[in-house]
Amino acid sequence: MPRALKKLLGVTGGLTLVVVGVPVFILPIPLGLPMIALGLFLLLQTSSRARLLRRRLARRYPQHAQRFDGARRRLQDLAVRARDGMRRALRPRG
């Protein structure tokens, strides 16, 4: 898949998750916050503007940046474990 297409899909998906997550956040089903978090993490992976904004905010609010970095590491670890689990589950046996 071309790099530009991956970036476009990542930015579009991240923005969609954030935009949809905001109104879902007020519903009694707790799905809004995870949707917003996933959208922000996806944007940080694909958007240079989002990374620049995150860097500026980290300089201004270092305590919040540390918490955010910890959450990002946990999410990345979870994604790696899920990917490895899917690979093991889909591996042909025989």
Structural domain spans, the chain: 33-86
**pLDDT at 87 exceeding the cut of 80:** yes
**What pLDDT shows up at residue 6?**
86
Tokens 């958007």, residue located? 47
End-to-end CA gap in the chain:
31
**What pLDDT shows up at residue 94?**
63
**What pLDDT shows up at residue 32?**
87
The pLDDT > 90 percentage for the chain reads 20
DSSP H helical ranges for 1-94: 3-25, 32-46, 48-60, 62-90
Report yes or no on whether pTM surpasses 0.85: no
How far apart CA 43 and CA 18 sit, in angstroms, is: 10
What does the angle CA 18 – CA 7 – CA 10 come to, to the nearest 5 degrees? 25
How far apart CA 71 and CA 41 sit, in angstroms, is: 10
**Mean pLDDT calculated for residue range 1-24:** 89
Higher pLDDT, 63 or 41: 63
Binning pLDDT at 50, 70 and 90, where does residue 60 land? very high
- Alpha-carbon Rg for the chain, nearest whole angstrom, is 16
Structure tokens at 40: 């922000």
